[in-house]
Structures are given as structure tokens and as C-alpha cells.
């Protein structure tokens, strides 16, 4: 099954996402900040990254930029609970950096899984 | 012997006389005045040296000449003769005149004619004495000029100036003082006592006491009351002048009206406060959304875990409804702290305002009158129409709630203000040449200053707990600020409130071109056409072709025609004339299945969840929805 990297500093949310995705038989890896996500990134294993945007160490925008550099084919889903860096919002910037989908927290995890399946071209049973 | 003595007497008398004559001549000739003796034929019979010097002549050449010979016939007959005649009648004549002398040119003189009687008492001559008063005149002229200059300066000085007695009785006030104090004329001041203009009279006594050492004192900002009773704040400084005995004579005060300065300072303070609360609340909302995402996600997992018809499903569904409500709350907080993305398009304020008023009118009691006056219908602003709708909706809802007994009038005006004027009024950097100014005036209960200062703070509410979130006006503030606009309020307790919303006019007339190829046809199924019209405005700008329907016959007619058949349907949950079942059966009837997006009211239990799961509805959104969210939902629906 495809590998998904979850980058999220909120532990409960990260665990919830992990459980939801594991159930769908995805191989899930986690990181609780942007820096760790970049250091431990395995291009051979990870096909899609779900990343929060405002995080300690490196933020989600840096994660998107670095991971795309290492593996241009990687799919990106950005999630955020709101927050702005200057006049543009983080989610807008993530979109500009080429995130394939963006979600405002709280979001429907089923909807997100649908999107993941669509992006990874997985036929629904 | 006797002859000897006589001779000596005569000699000493002669000596005496000659000495007296010497003295007299000496005094006569050394006087700084021009002195002459004139006879009844207007002829000089004697002149002194000063006179000769002034005329640059010898005494012999002047004596025997008439005044008309010396001064010219015209000057003599016009300004000298009648004065001389009066003097020969017995009067001492004194007058000022200017004439030209060969020695000094044109000078000013004071002339005195005194009758000069003979031994018999008959006036045969007169004594003319002429002083040069040119320097005096010049000094006087300069003094008058200086005084006028000072008066002009004092009158036009932008600083108020006022002089009063130590007990406060006003002696004089300049124009600026009259203006500051709202007084009609200076005359009305003379009966006034400055002590009465102090908001607290004791402070005046304190000021007078402090001025007693006759040194200039600044008293900072002092609260005063104008002639019309208005409260103002002035920067005052004063100086007391003492009389020769060292007693207080009068006090000079200078005034600068700092009411506006104070108002701007307060406004800045308010803005900073809101900014601080905003970032604080925004941070909390952000963390809160993380928690909500976890709750929402686990409840979705829980539903999956429950067997098909478990009675627990309903309870989990209630958790999700609660999450949606909480989401709506955090969304409002984030809007206030300007951390919500706004999909801005050029939008007509007039259209949004008209629709919002229509929306509110349909729900407001008929005893409340809502009047509107649109002085412009053409101007666009750059905004998310749904957010602009929230601004007007929140303000109108507030206005209705301010009307006690559900009676009164709300007046809404739309006008255009020049940027320069806006800069002056708001004292802030302007971003456009023109601004749309929307004014909302209610005749409600009004607010006092302490309330007014806090109304834009989030969670600040005057309503009872549970009625209203206290976020309405803070959301308004957030949205308007995000548009580079401003919202101001003025209010008077018992009379009502006025809200002023300034929005920069969007200058590029060019609208967004339609998206790729043919415009997608979008059908709004709605119970309230006003609200969906707002969304339509934004979606039209984004390149969709919009139709609305709120009635089943009309709805079926649209579906029947291939020309009008929609590519996407947006179903608002308040559409009471068209139910979801009608929607499904109509689709089946015409053999179509367009993507369908449902927008639910956050206050209701969600009917949408099951429909989404059943596949009838492709996307579900919960109010308040932003244009951005709808667009994303449309994109996702089309892809599917």
C-alpha cells in the first residue's frame, strides 16, 4: 500500500489521522515538526504527505518545498486551523507552492481519505 | 552828586535791560521750536534762528514778508489764515500740520498761535510757535501698526487666547477661543465667568493659585464645557500679571482643543487593544481547531465502528453537530483576528447592501422601518461578498436589537467619499482615491462612552448570557479591516447609534473573465433568495452563470429545458418549498444527476450528513460559508 507521512505537532490529531489512515491500510509515518519530517523523509516509502502548516522548528511550507525538491512526484495535502503570515494566509501559500488539496480544521477525515485515494489513483472497493 | 547818582541808576537800568535782552534773545534763538511774531497783515515781524535755519534764510530776508510769500498762497489760505484769524479774535489756537521746509523736507509740526497783546491790551500781533513732531508721529504710527498687527495675529491665531480677572470674569477672548468654546460672539463673553467653563470648578481655583507666582504654567489637558454644554478637553497654559502693588491684575490663558487628539489617541489605543485580543483569540481558535479536528475525526471513526443500525449513531451525529457549531464559533473568532482567508472579487456594495436589507426586512417585525438611500449604485469594492453580507447583516441585526419595543427606524445610506476627506476624518493612510461610506443609523437605545469603547471586543455583549455570542461586531471589525476599510461608531444614550463603514473603492473596472470555455450553469435552490443572491454575486465574478429557484414549478421548468439545465446545483437547507425528495424525483424525471452541494444552517441538526453518505449530495457545507469554500466544493464536485 502507498506510504503516507503525517506531519502534525498536535499529538491527538496526529494519532487520529494515523488510526484513520492505518485502517485504510496505508503505510503511515509520522513527524511532530517540520524539521524531523525533512530529516527522516524516505522518498522510496512516502507517496503522499499530509502536513500541518504552523509548527515549531520548520513550518509546513518548508516541508512542502523541501519534499517536492527531493521527490517531485510527491502528493501534498495541507491542513490548517487558520493563521496568517503577513497578508497571505498559510493555506493560500501552500496552494501556491503546489499543494494538491487544502483543508481547514476541523475537516471530515472521510472526505480527506476520499481525496487521498483520488490523488493516489486507488480504486475504491 | 544827585546827577551822578541818576546817571548811575540809568546806567545800571540800561545794563539790566541789555542783559535781559541778551537772555531773551538767547532763549528765543536757542529754542528748538520755530518761533515768530506775526502782525495783523499776516507779515512776519520777528523770527528766531531755528525758524531761519528751517527756511534756510537770514532773518532780514524773512522779516517783512507775508506768510503767503513764505508758504505759498494756497497753503496760507487753506490751512493757515483761518487759524491766525481765530487767534486775533483772542483764542490760543493749536493744530497739527505737515509742511515742507527747505532744510528737512516734509515734516509734521504742532503749531500754536498765541495772541500777543500791546500795552493797551489790544491784540496787534500773535506769537507763532511750531514744534517738529515728526519723530513722535512716526513712533505713534509704528505703535498703531504694531498694535493692529498684533490684533490681527491674535485674532487669527489658531490657539485660543483669553484674558480674565483673577476671579474668572472674562475681559477678552480671540476668535479661536470663541470657536473652541462654541460662543457666538465676543460680547456674550463679557458677562461670562471662565470658572463656569471648567467641568470641575475647583480645578480653576487650583490653577489660579498655582499662577500666583507670576510664572508661565502649563496645565496639560483640562476637561471643559463649551457655551453649548459640550464636553471638550483643552491643553491650557496661563500667565498672571500683577499690578504695581504686586496684587493679581489679570490672567492670560492659551487654549488648544485636544479633543480630536484625544479621540485619535483613544482610537489608536482601541485598535491596538483589538489587535492584541485578535492575535490572542486567533491563537486560541487555532489550537481549538486542532482539538475539534481530533473530535470530529474520532467521531467519524466511531460511526464506522458502530454496527449498521446502532442507536449510538445518533449520539455520535450530535457530537458532529456540536463540532460544527464550535467550528462556526472559531471561524468567527478567526474572522475577527483577520486570519480567515477571504476570496475577494470586485463586488457592488449596492447589490450586497440591497440584498442584505431585503433579507433582514423579511424577518424583522413590521413595526421596524428600514429606510435606504443609495447615492451611488456603480462603485465596486474588492471583497468576499459573503463576508460583506455578514458585515451588513450583523450591523442590521444589532440595530434591530437596539430598538426597544420593536419600534423605530433604521436608516441606511450609501455614499462616496473622497480619499483625501477620508484621510482627514480617520487620520489614517488611505489606499484608494475614493471610499464607499455606508452609514447605518438607528433610533434605538444608544450606548454610553464606556460601552462604546468595548463594542468591537470579541465576546463583549450586553445581551443576557446565551443570547448572542458577542462576536457579531468583532467579526464586522475583522472583515472590514481585512478589506483595508474602517468601521466607526458614534452613539448617544437614549437617542440611537450610527455606524460608519468605509471601504476603499476598487479601481480596476475589468471584471474577471469567464473561466475556461463555456460558463458553468449554477442553480441555487433556496428559501431565501437574498442570501443566495449574495453568493451569486461572488460566483458570477468567478465566472459562473447563476440562476435561483425557490419554488418547485419554476425549478422543474429550469430542469425541463436543456438550455437552462444546470451543471451544478447548490441546495440551501432553508428551501422549504423544494424538499430534497423533490430534488431527487425531479432529477429522475428528467434523467439527470448534476453534482449537488448542500449548505446547512449550523443551528439545525444536519440533514446533510446522511445525504452525502447516500451519494445524492456530493458536498456538504455549514454556514457561515465563504465564497472560497463554495468554489472548492464546486471544483471537487465537478471532478467527481
Please check the confidence at residue B158 and state whether its pLDDT lies above 80: yes
Identify the top-confidence range among B177-191, B381-395, B625-639: B381-395
Chain B contact present for A81, CB below 8 A? yes
Of B291, B339, B629, the CB nearest to A84: B339
Of A19, A54, A107, the CB nearest to B293: A107
Inter-chain residue contact A17 with B300, CB threshold 8 Å: no
For the stretch B416-463, pLDDT in tens is 988 888 888 877 778 888 899 999 999 988 888 888 888 888 877 776
Q: How many residues does this entry show for chain B? A: 640
Please check the confidence at residue B613 and state whether its pLDDT lies above 70: no
The CATH homologous superfamily of the domain defined by A3-119: Response regulator (3.40.50.2300)
Distances (CA, A) of B402 to A43, B160, B359, B409, B413: 61, 40, 18, 11, 18
Chain A contact present for B364, CB below 8 A? no
Chain B contact present for A124, CB below 8 A? no
Please check the confidence at residue B633 and state whether its pLDDT lies above 80: no
- Per the listing, cell 424538499 goes with B579
- CATH topology agreement for domains B31-138 and B345-504: no
**Between residues B306 and B508, the one the model is more confident about:** B306
ipTM: 0.84
Please check the confidence at residue B71 and state whether its pLDDT lies above 60: yes
Closest CA to B277 of B316, B354, B334, B346: B334
> What's the average model confidence in pLDDT over B178-197?
86
Q: What is the pLDDT of residue B250?
A: 94
Please check the confidence at residue B499 and state whether its pLDDT lies above 90: yes
Least confident of A2-16, B105-119, B150-164, B573-587: B573-587
Of A17, A54, A92, the CB nearest to B341: A92
CATH architecture of the domain formed by B345-504: 2-Layer Sandwich (3.30)
Query: For B293, which residue in chain A has the nearest alpha carbon?
Result: A106
Extended beta strands in B550-609, E state: 568-572, 596-600
- Contact residues on chain A for B481, CB-CB shorter than 8 A: none
CA angle B272, B278, B280 (to 5 degrees): 110
> What's the average model confidence in pLDDT over B277-295?
84
Q: What is the pLDDT of residue A87?
A: 45
For the stretch B21-69, pLDDT in tens is 999 889 988 988 999 999 999 999 999 999 898 888 888 889 999 999 9
- Contact residues on chain A for B635, CB-CB shorter than 8 A: none
Distances (CA, A) of B357 to B78, B348, B411, B413: 86, 14, 11, 12
CA distance B214 to chain A (A): 56
Partners of residue B231 on adjacent β-strands = B225
Q: How far apart are CA B303 and CA B313, in angstroms?
A: 6
Using pLDDT thresholds of 50, 70 and 90, give the confidence band for residue B467.
Answer: low
Q: What is the pLDDT of residue B343?
A: 72
Interface of B with A in 34-93 (CB under 8 A): none
Q: What is the pLDDT of residue B87?
A: 92
Chain A contact present for B614, CB below 8 A? no
Helix-helix angle B259-305:B472-482, to 10 degrees:
110
Identify the top-confidence range among B383-387, B437-441, B571-575, B631-635: B437-441
CA distance A68 to chain B (A): 23
Least confident of A111-115, B316-320, B335-339, B358-362: B335-339
Inter-chain residue contact B293 with A54, CB threshold 8 Å: no
Using pLDDT thresholds of 50, 70 and 90, give the confidence band for residue B373.
Answer: very high
CATH of domain B520-639: 3.40.50.2300
Using pLDDT thresholds of 50, 70 and 90, give the confidence band for residue B403.
Answer: confident
Domain ranges within chain B, ordered by starting residue: 1-26, 31-138, 157-257, 268-336, 345-504, 520-639
> What's the average model confidence in pLDDT over A79-84?
73
**Between residues A87 and B589, the one the model is more confident about:** B589
Give me the DSSP letters along B504-544.
EBP---PPPPP-SSSPEEEEEE-S-HHHHHHHHHHHHHTTE
Q: How far apart are CA B34 and CA B70, in angstroms?
A: 14
Q: What share of chain A is helix, strand, coil (3-state, %, to 5)?
A: 40, 25, 35
Query: For B628, which residue in chain A has the nearest alpha carbon?
Result: A92
Q: What is the pLDDT of residue B284?
A: 83
> What's the average model confidence in pLDDT over A49-75?
89
Q: What is the pLDDT of residue B515?
A: 42
- Per the listing, cell 471561524 goes with B331
Least confident of B146-155, B304-313, B333-342, B493-502: B333-342
Q: What is the pLDDT of residue A86?
A: 45
Question: SS3 for B179?
Answer: helix
Q: How far apart are CA B236 and CA B223, in angstroms?
A: 10
Please check the confidence at residue A85 and state whether its pLDDT lies above 60: no
Q: What is the pLDDT of residue B42?
A: 93
Q: What is the pLDDT of residue B514?
A: 39
**Between residues B194 and A59, the one the model is more confident about:** B194
CA distance A125 to chain B (A): 15
Pairing of strands B619-622, B596-600: parallel
- Per the listing, cell 468576499 goes with B384
CATH 3.10.180.10 fits B31-138, yes or no: no
Partners of residue B564 on adjacent β-strands = none
- Percent of chain A whose pLDDT exceeds 70: 92
Of A91, A104, A109, the CB nearest to B297: A109
- Percent of chain B whose pLDDT exceeds 90: 26
CA distance B292 to chain A (A): 6
> What's the average model confidence in pLDDT over A62-86?
83
> What's the average model confidence in pLDDT over B113-141?
88
CA distance A92 to chain B (A): 8
- Percent of chain B whose pLDDT exceeds 70: 94
Which cell is B137 given? 508721529
For the stretch B503-532, pLDDT in tens is 999 876 444 443 445 678 888 888 877 777
Which CATH number fits the domain B157-257, given the four candidates 1.10.10.920, 3.40.50.300, 3.30.450.20, 3.40.50.360?
Answer: 3.30.450.20
Q: How far apart are CA B508 and CA B600, in angstroms?
A: 35
**Between residues B622 and B606, the one the model is more confident about:** B622
Domain ranges within chain A, ordered by starting residue: 3-119
Chain B contact present for A118, CB below 8 A? yes
Q: What is the pLDDT of residue A124?
A: 63
Partners of residue B158 on adjacent β-strands = none
Q: What is the pLDDT of residue B523?
A: 87
Interface of A with B in 54-73 (CB under 8 A): 54
Please check the confidence at residue B592 and state whether its pLDDT lies above 70: yes
- CA B554 centroid distance within chain: 53
CATH architecture of the domain formed by B268-336: Orthogonal Bundle (1.10)
Q: How far apart are CA B160 and CA B162, in angstroms?
A: 7
Least confident of A9-18, A76-85, A87-96, B347-356: A87-96
Handedness of CA B416, B418, B421, B423 (dihedral sign): positive
Partners of residue B572 on adjacent β-strands = B599
φ, ψ dihedrals at B26, nearest 5°: -60, -50
Inter-chain residue contact B300 with A109, CB threshold 8 Å: yes
List strands edge to edge, sheet with A3-7: A27-31, A3-7, A46-52, A75-80, A101-104
Using pLDDT thresholds of 50, 70 and 90, give the confidence band for residue B493.
Answer: confident
What value does the mean pLDDT of chain B take?
84
Inter-chain residue contact A109 with B291, CB threshold 8 Å: no
Closest CA to A81 of B470, B390, B480, B327: B327
Three-state SS sequence of B475-503: HHHHHHHHCCCEEEEEEECCCEEEEEEEE
Amino acid at each position: 500500500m502507498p506510504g503516507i507521512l503525517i506531519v502534525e505537532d498536535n499529538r491527538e490529531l496526529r494519532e487520529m489521522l494515523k488510526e484513520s489512515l492505518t485502517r485504510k491500510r496505508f503505510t503511515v509515518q509520522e513527524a511532530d515538526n517540520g524539521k524531523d519530517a525533512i530529516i527522516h523523509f524516505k522518498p522510496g516509502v512516502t507517496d503522499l504527505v499530509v502536513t500541518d502548516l504552523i509548527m515549531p522548528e520548520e513550518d509546513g511550507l518548508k516541508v512542502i518545498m523541501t519534499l517536492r525538491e527531493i521527490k517531485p512526484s510527491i502528493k501534498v495535502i495541507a491542513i490548517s486551523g487558520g493563521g496568517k503570515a503577513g497578508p497571505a494566509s498559510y493555506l493560500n501559500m501552500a496552494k501556491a507552492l503546489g499543494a494538491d488539496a487544502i483543508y481547514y480544521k476541523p475537516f471530515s477525515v472521510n472526505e480527506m481519505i476520499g481525496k487521498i485515494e483520488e490523488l493516489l489513483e486507488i480504486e475504491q472497493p | 552828586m544827585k546827577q551822578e547818582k541818576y546817571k548811575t541808576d540809568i546806567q545800571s537800568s540800561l545794563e539790566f535791560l541789555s542783559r535781559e535782552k541778551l537772555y531773551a534773545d538767547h532763549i528765543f534763538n536757542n529754542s528748538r521750536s520755530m518761533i515768530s511774531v506775526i502782525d495783523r497783515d499776516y507779515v512776519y515781524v520777528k523770527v528766531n534762528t531755528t525758524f531761519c535755519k528751517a527756511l534756510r534764510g537770514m532773518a532780514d530776508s524773512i522779516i517783512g514778508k507775508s506768510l503767503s510769500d513764505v508758504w505759498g498762497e494756497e497753503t496760507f489760505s487753506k490751512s493757515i489764515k483761518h487759524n491766525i484769524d481765530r487767534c486775533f479774535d483772542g483764542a490760543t489756537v493749536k493744530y497739527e500740520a505737515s509742511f515742507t521746509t527747505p532744510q528737512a523736507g516734509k515734516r509734521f509740526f504742532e503749531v500754536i498761535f498765541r495772541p500777543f497783546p500791546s500795552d493797551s491790551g489790544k491784540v496787534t500781533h500773535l506769537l507763532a510757535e511750531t514744534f517738529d513732531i515728526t519723530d513722535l508721529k512716526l513712533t505713534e504710527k509704528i505703535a498703531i501698526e504694531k498694535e493692529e498687527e498684533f490684533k490681527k495675529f491674535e485674532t487669527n491665531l489658531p490657539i485660543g487666547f483669553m484674558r480674565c480677572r483673577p476671579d474668572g470674569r472674562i475681559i477678552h477672548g480671540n476668535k479661536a477661543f470663541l470657536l473652541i468654546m462654541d460662543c457666538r460672539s465676543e460680547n456674550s463673553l463679557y458677562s461670562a465667568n471662565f470658572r463656569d467653563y471648567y467641568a470641575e470648578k475647583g480645578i480653576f481655583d487650583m490653577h489660579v493659585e498655582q499662577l500666583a507666582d507670576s510664572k508661565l504654567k502649563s496645565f496639560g489637558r483640562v476637561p471643559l464645557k463649551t457655551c453649548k454644554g459640550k464636553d471638550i478637553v483643552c491643553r491650557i497654559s496661563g500667565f498672571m500679571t500683577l499690578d504695581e502693588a504686586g496684587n493679581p491684575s489679570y490672567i492670560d490663558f492659551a487654549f488648544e482643543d485636544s479633543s480630536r487628539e484625544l479621540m485619535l489617541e483613544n482610537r489608536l489605543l482601541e485598535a491596538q487593544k483589538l489587535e492584541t485580543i485578535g492575535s490572542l483569540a486567533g491563537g486560541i481558535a487555532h489550537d481549538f481547531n486542532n482539538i475539534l479536528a481530533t473530535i470530529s475525526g474520532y467521531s467519524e471513526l466511531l460511526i464506522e465502528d458502530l454496527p449498521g443500525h446502532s442507536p449510538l449513531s445518533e449520539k455520535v451525529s450530535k457530537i458532529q453537530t456540536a463540532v460544527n457549531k464550535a467550528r462556526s464559533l472559531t471561524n468567527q473568532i478567526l474572522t475577527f483576528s483577520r486570519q480567515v482567508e477571504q476570496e475577494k472579487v470586485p463586488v457592488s456594495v449596492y447589490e450586497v447592501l440591497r440584498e442584505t436589507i431585503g433579507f433582514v426586512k423579511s424577518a424583522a417585525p413590521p413595526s421596524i422601518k428600514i429606510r435606504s438611500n443609495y447615492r451611488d449604485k456603480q462603485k465596486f469594492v474588492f471583497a468576499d461578498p459573503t463576508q460583506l453580507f455578514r458585515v451588513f447583516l450583523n450591523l442590521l441585526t444589532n440595530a434591530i436589537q437596539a430598538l426597544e419595543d420593536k419600534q423605530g427606524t433604521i436608516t441606511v445610506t450609501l455614499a462616496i467619499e473622497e480619499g483625501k476627506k477620508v484621510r482627514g476624518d480617520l487620520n489614517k493612510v488611505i489606499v484608494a482615491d475614493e471610499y464607499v461610506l455606508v452609514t447605518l443609523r438607528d433610533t434605538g437605545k444608544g450606548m454610553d462612552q464606556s460601552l462604546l469603547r468595548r463594542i468591537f471586543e470579541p465576546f463583549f455583549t450586553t445581551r443576557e448570557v446565551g443570547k448572542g455570542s458577542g462576536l457579531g461586531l468583532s467579526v464586522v471589525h475583522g472583515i472590514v479591516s481585512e478589506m483595508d476599510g474602517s468601521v466607526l461608531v458614534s452613539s448617544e444614550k437614549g437617542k440611537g447609534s450610527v455606524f460608519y463603514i468605509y471601504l476603499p473603492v476598487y479601481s480596476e473596472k475589468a471584471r474577471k473573465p469567464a473561466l475556461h470555455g463555456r460558463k458553468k450553469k449554477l442553480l441555487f435552490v433556496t428559501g431565501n433568495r437574498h442570501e443566495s443572491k449574495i453568493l451569486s454575486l461572488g460566483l458570477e465574478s468567478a465566472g459562473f452563470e447563476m440562476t435561483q429557484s425557490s419554488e418547485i414549478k419554476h425549478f422543474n421548468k429550469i430542469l425541463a429545458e436543456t438550455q437552462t439545465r444546470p451543471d451544478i446545483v447548490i441546495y440551501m437547507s432553508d428551501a422549504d418549498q423544494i424538499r430534497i425528495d423533490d430534488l431527487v424525483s425531479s432529477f429522475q424525471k428528467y434523467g439527470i444527476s448534476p453534482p449537488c452541494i448542500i449548505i446547512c444552517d449550523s443551528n439545525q441538526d444536519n440533514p446533510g450528513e446522511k445525504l452525502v453518505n447516500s451519494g445524492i449530495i456530493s458536498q456538504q457545507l455549514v454556514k457561515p460559508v465563504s465564497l472560497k469554500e463554495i468554489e472548492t466544493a464546486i471544483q471537487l464536485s465537478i471532478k467527481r
